[in-house]
A and B are shown apart, each in its own frame.
Chain A
């Protein structure tokens, strides 16, 4: 017998080194499985939010611009969530590798499975309205999120392209002052051609979207004014959900409105 094997055997006996019990390995396996499941589920939530942010864009209003430029599409892409989703796919693969001999599976195969599963879960959550709920919760609870990562805000903060939005802080007969989403104050002029959507309530504190032209810095001519939250057949953030008031007013305007339905 070699000296080393003997000395290790002696050490094991002398120091009474014990084998780790089976339950430790079972718990390790459960731990990695839970992390894997969580990353797939969160991947699904990310898909649901990505879906919601894409669906909630005002594609109808953006159509004239879309005919010439791709900018609105680039602004509408929820990059943050795409990065999170990609990260979750990598995490899932990492957790998967720790389960038994799963490391033998090629990464692209695991990623394809996780992607498919997340898409199925995500589309289910989107249908159930969870993409919207989580996004709105984040927007209200984390101010930096709505300022920097809400893609709809980006799309409606482009005065040079003819799109601004914000809160009405002053009302005049043919003009109003708007605190834009970036907190800058704009003078919005209205003339006889300005179309005011029936759903838009021009009250102090009201949140509106304005389509028109920038005349000068912080001076805007409105061609069309629409409510920020309420769109025909849509979800009313102001009413706190699919509330009756919003839906009724939407229904009134349903004919000839042809807006998105969610």
Chain B
């Protein structure tokens, strides 16, 4: 059985996918590459415990493995697996018939959002973190999600179009509206 030590570090995602299709043992290399990123993404999307997050991530990887032959080589593997994670988390919300009302952010997330959304960073860091958290919680889920993907997950517009399965123009509009709404809530929280 393959171990992560044997994983071709320099291989691109597409090359790794080709390898997995020939020898499924290589799937561990893909998982290793995306484990941390997807865990963080899942936890940012919903208020899951670390255990629940890992359970979801495990299901996401198994889903990805089963559907790997349906992966469209035209799109990036990263967008494809994020799409699977996105769908899985959304269906989890539907299953629980509720979306999380609270948001968990760490210090790094706060500074990423503050930079991305061009928020005034001169204010007290604790206050800034608190106001960002509250503003995010007030955002509608679709807006919260797109800001998370854009500024915390650092996904490109092109990838966002593939993850959310929307035209790039719609993605740009969504980001613009989400930023606007976020700033309104943030300004209100500041005052």
Q: Mark B13-56, 1 if CB is under 8 A from A, else 0.
A: 00000000100110110011001000100000000000000100
When A2-B35, A5-B28, A9-B27 are in contact, do A17 and B65 touch as well, CB less than 8 Å? yes
Query: Is there contact, CB below 8 Å, between B74 and A101?
Result: yes
Report A93 CB to chain B, min CB distance, Å.
11
Q: Does A7 contact B (CB under 8 A)?
A: yes
Report B110 CB to chain A, min CB distance, Å.
26
For B94, what are the chain A residues with a Cβ–Cβ distance below 8 Å?
none
Q: Does B8 contact A (CB under 8 A)?
A: no
| Interface-central residue, A1, A101, A107, by most chain B CB under 10 Å | A1
When A19-B66, A19-B68, A101-B75 are in contact, do A5 and B165 touch as well, CB less than 8 Å? no
Q: Does B67 contact A (CB under 8 A)?
A: yes
Query: Is there contact, CB below 8 Å, between B167 and A24?
Result: no
Q: Does A64 contact B (CB under 8 A)?
A: no
For B162, what are the chain A residues with a Cβ–Cβ distance below 8 Å?
101, 104
Q: Does A21 contact B (CB under 8 A)?
A: yes
Q: Does A13 contact B (CB under 8 A)?
A: yes
Q: Does B127 contact A (CB under 8 A)?
A: no
Residue of A whose beta carbon sits closest to that of B57 = A4
Choose from B25, B58, B72 the contact partner of A101 (Cβ within 8 Å).
Answer: B72
Binding site for B on A (CB under 8 A): 1-2, 4-9, 11-13, 17-22, 24-25, 28, 97, 100-101, 103-107
Binding site for A on B (CB under 8 A): 1, 3-4, 21, 24-25, 27-28, 31-32, 35, 39, 54, 57-58, 61-62, 65-70, 72, 74-75, 161-162, 165-170
For the A-B complex with A1-B28, A13-B1, A22-B70 known, give 7 more contacts whose Cβ atoms are closer than 8 Å.
Answer: A4-B35, A9-B31, A18-B66, A19-B69, A25-B69, A101-B72, A106-B170
